[in-house]
Amino acid sequence: MKYENLIFDLDGTISDPKVGIVRSLNYALEAHSYETRQASELCQFIGPPLDHTFSSLVESSDSTLIQSLVSKYRERYADIGYAENTLYSGIPEALRQLNEIKGLRIGICTSKRADFAKRIIEMFSLQDFFCFVNGGDVGIEKWQQLEALLEEGEITQNSIMIGDRFVDITAAHKNNLLSAGVLWGYGSEAELTQHNPLHLLKSPDELTRLMS
């Protein structure tokens, strides 16, 4: 078998979270008396950890302020933002086909909190496809999440990280894992190719080719 584990990012890879994330970011900014931003400007922040996002948006490294912004964001996201999410066409079919491969374990590694991630995949009735859902939090980098999954034996070195942003690719490489970039999310082809993923996929139906 080509890989023992397929590790999926969530936002921009399994589903499109744009509406919920943009509205929740602006909700937090407005609550702290900052100007709200256009969706086109905020899309670049879909994927990386929230503390990095708010630090860039308000141009501050004040940990108290950043934590307050994250908390306010999550206030709205937990109530309605997570549900303002759209499943990418072709994802359920690809996951179903991959799940038919004996011995293959499929999981999620996302920068968002695990409880939010689980609510999203349950909303789309995808929970049975995944053996694990690994989520992050403020101060935790995605490469550290992958490192922990390796240390815990949840994944092996014969794994591939699949995601739409550079953080997915660099996190994999830092752990000596292979990577696949997807072009239906929020990372551009230029962003992804700069970090040398082994595969670059143009549509969800190409996911099954990873195992061929």
CB-CB neighbours of 195 under 10 Å: 17
Rg from Cα positions in the chain? 17
CA dihedral 16, 17, 19, 20 (to 10 degrees): 160
Indicate the pairing of strand 86-87 with strand 105-110. Answer: unpaired
CB of 10 within 8 A of CB of 108? Answer: yes
Q: If DSSP codes are grouped into helix, strand and coil, which group holds residue 163?
A: strand
CB of 43 within 8 A of CB of 22? Answer: yes
User: CB burial class (10 A; 0-12, 13-18, 19+) of residue 152?
Assistant: exposed
In terms of residues, how long is the chain? 212
Report the alpha-carbon distance of residue 178 to residue 172 in Å, rounded.
6
CA dist 175 to 149, 157, 166, 168, 195, Å? 10, 8, 14, 11, 14
Out of 9, 16, 51, 168, the active site residue is: 9
137 assigned to active site: no
Active site residues: 9
